[in-house]
Amino acid sequence: MARPEYRSMLTLLFALVIVPFGGAFICYSLKGRKSDLVPALLAGLTFALGIAASVWGHPERKELLLSGPWIQWMGTETEIFFGFLIDPLSALMLIVITSMGLFVMVYSTEYLSPQNRDHAFRKPVGNYYFWMLLFIGSMVGLVIAPNFLQLFFFWEMTTICSWALISYTKEEKALFGGFKALIMTHIGGLFFLVALALLFVHSHSFSFSALDRLEPSMRLTIFILLLVAAWAKAAQIPFFTWLPDAMVAPTPVSAYLHAAAMVKAGVYLIARVAVSNTLLPYEAGLLLGIMAVATMIVAVILYFIQDDLKRLLAFSTIGHLGYVLFGVSLGILGSATGFGGGLLHIINHSYAKGLLFLSVGAMAYATGSKSIQELSGLGRKMPLASAAFVVGLFAVTGVPPLSCFWSKIMMFTGAFALGGVTGCTLGGLAILESLAAFAWYLFVGHRIIFGEVSPKVALATADPPMAIDGTLIVLMVLALAAPLIGYPFVQYLSVGCFG
């Protein structure tokens, strides 16, 4: 890379991290209308920088490393590098993180309002925007980190941000939900820390590709430790219970947490390990696949006892993160198609689930309720929010031609292409989960949108303000267009492609 180009890209990537972090501190003290407009503008600038970095990182892998000090550590001289990494995987994640960050910030300008019937928010809300921008910056830093050590710093920052935002209203349930999320995800962080220590001891490196340098038994051990960290972060069994309890957070927080932020960090970690190492053992892929499908099945069973719409969407997210890990497992087991489907599902699910959460937020804003039993006839009173919910449910359950259909069909094809008991069993269970999820979503959608207008809905105002409605319209378009955005990046990714 020519030196002028290196400097310009280094400046771009520094700005991509500094804008949300610096903006967080700027927004903390803002009051009045500025406290809404400035955070949205900063999120917009972060989005523009993220798109520029993603375009630059396509299709080749590029690293910009800052030489660290030579340090005497554990009897060896090792140079620790910090810097930035841009490749198709981090570019895909940047698009999701920065775009959803912008949508959530714009949505929040009207949602955090005294007119919100679900929860009236009083000004100032600078601390909300402080934590949201810090969350966006932490996720950006996480996905452009060039090694495990730097990634871990931002990994822990996302845990702190999620705790603060889940607890934002300071109600008893919110404080409990935030503390539970903090503890359970931090357990995963401890496993990550042990994996880092073992990796350095045995390879003298924190490189993503360092697992290939290890003995097979140690490689599998460290992979399992990283997998436990990912399970905790992505709310997979046995760590899934924190995510439904986190639904007490403001709906824009829930949307970002589920669509683009902390839970996606978990699946990103395993995807990064997969693309960076060529020698991952069959046992690693098998364990990953079995646990992913088990999570999907448990999550869909728990759909049927939920009355709160946000809790229903939380269990749906748990299952769909299982789909991403299922796709990664197929890649490790030998299916390039299944692996591509798993990575494509990251962006497909993000926009579909963001649409569902924000449409539920719009309904609750107008009616004061998220209860399935209390809502019916919404289609008559809130046509746009109802349409957004229908598009979201069709997209997330995989109805063609909407987003998740394309990633799911790639994973199903990849599983059956593997053949044998493993491929057919995992693929068959995934299809059963998809059918059950579609049936229940359809039932819930019909229940709340059609029929007689319930008392809660009868008292509702019309569709909420333009910032909310406009966000829903954009996400409806993206629920269709997501595969077209994601596939140009995914097509260059395979297991071990950067090993």
CA gap 164, 131 in Å, rounded: 7
**Angstrom distance (rounded) from CA 422 to CA 332:** 13
Q: Which domain holds residue 112?
A: 3-490
User: Residue 79: what pLDDT?
Assistant: 55
Nearest to 242 by CA among 169, 183, 307: 183
What are 394-423's pLDDT values in tens digits? 999 999 999 999 999 999 999 999 989 999
Over residues 147-174, the pLDDT tens digits come to: 999 999 999 999 999 999 999 999 999 9
* Range of lowest pLDDT (29-33, 230-234, 280-284): 29-33
> How much is the pLDDT for 68?
54
pLDDT at position 274 is 97
Q: Residue 496: inside a domain, yes or no?
A: no
Query: In whole angstroms, what is the distance from residue 208 CA to residue 436 CA?
Result: 37
In a domain, residue 498? The reply is no
pLDDT at 117 over 60: yes
Tens digit of each residue's pLDDT (9 = 90 or more) over 458-496: 988 766 889 999 999 999 999 999 999 999 999 999 998
**Count of structural domains within the chain:** 1
Give the residue from 306, 458, 315, 337 showing the smallest Cα distance to 409.
337
- 495 occurs within a structural domain: no
Residue 82 is assigned to a structural domain of this protein: yes
Give residue 47's Cα distance to chain centre: 16
For the stretch 186-242, pLDDT in tens is: 999 999 999 999 999 999 889 999 999 999 999 999 999 999 999 999 999 999 999
| Chain segment 301-335, per-residue pLDDT in tens | 999 999 999 999 999 999 999 999 999 999 999 99
Mean pLDDT of the residues in the chain: 92
Specify if 497 maps to a domain. no
27-45 mean pLDDT: 85
Alpha carbon distance 51, 96 (integer Å) = 10
Q: What is the pLDDT of residue 70?
A: 45
pLDDT classification of 32: cutoffs 50, 70, 90: low
Contacts of 420 (CB under 8 A, 6+ apart): none
Check: CB of residue 105 under 8 Å from CB of residue 39. yes
Q: What local confidence, expressed as pLDDT, does residue 35 receive? A: 74
